[in-house]
Amino acid sequence: MRSKKSFGYVLVVVALALVFMACVSGCGRKQHVSFRYDFAISPKKDQVLKDVTVYLPFPTKDGKPIREIYESLMRDYNKYWADDHPNARVSLENTEYGTMLKISIPEVDQRGFGLEGGYGFEEAYTEEKIAPHYMLAPRKDVKRLSHLIGYVADTYVYADFKGGDELGLALEYDISILSPPLFPLDYVPEDGYTAYLGFDEPPIKPGNRVKYVKRKGWTKMKLADNGYDKESYGQE
């Protein structure tokens, strides 16, 4: 009969093996980081906008525009919009507020015009917050929301158009981090961040998130976000 002492050694060995496996598994864990950026331009009901030019805030990586998102926007344009709007031009341009997304399009009718771009990659698992390195810009005078998790900042948009008295804009930017669990019973929550153009605080209910611009030229506009409740991030 196996002694209790021998059985105890077995338990210790098994426990050490589990700890070792957990360490190895943890060291090799990956997290998937993904981004989604989409915008839409639209006229008011029964109007058609002509000679439209818009500048929009754009995602950055440590202050520089994320080219992969721009390239994804262009793929979306070539796949879904190029036939109906062959003369639209989308580019990254330097402005007095930094590098922004410029859209020039001869006509925008009731169908509107918009693009969606995405980008993702895998990296070693880390507890460091991702969002502070991939913010929309420009983003000025950042303030922490008093009763919600998130921040509100000032950004800028530019609009010039003919044929209507207002131009509608909608823009959202999402960051999500998927972290696989260490063990089947170990729950690792998904982190997330979303920014909304034109809101004093993140909208709670889904719906029409179009903000209308009357003034032609540069306009200061609010930029609200939620997620990543960290005191120091995003301050400028």
Q: What confidence score (pLDDT) does residue 13 get?
A: 43
Q: Do the beta carbons of residue 145 and residue 152 sit within 8 Å?
A: yes
Q: What confidence score (pLDDT) does residue 71 get?
A: 97
Q: Do the beta carbons of residue 159 and residue 208 sit within 8 Å?
A: no
Both tokens of 39, joined, read: 């915008």
CA distance 148 to 140: 19
Q: What confidence score (pLDDT) does residue 122 get?
A: 86
Q: Would you kindly state where each structural domain of the chain is located, as residue ranges?
A: 29-226
Tens digit of pLDDT per residue, the chain (236 long)? 455 555 455 444 444 444 444 444 445 677 888 999 999 999 998 899 999 999 999 999 988 999 999 999 999 999 999 999 999 999 999 999 999 999 999 999 999 999 999 999 888 877 778 888 899 999 999 999 887 788 999 999 999 999 999 999 999 999 988 876 666 544 455 567 899 999 999 887 777 899 999 988 999 999 999 875 544 444 44
Q: Do the beta carbons of residue 116 and residue 73 sit within 8 Å?
A: yes
CA distance 234 to 72: 25
Q: What confidence score (pLDDT) does residue 5 get?
A: 52
Q: 131: which DSSP letter? A: G
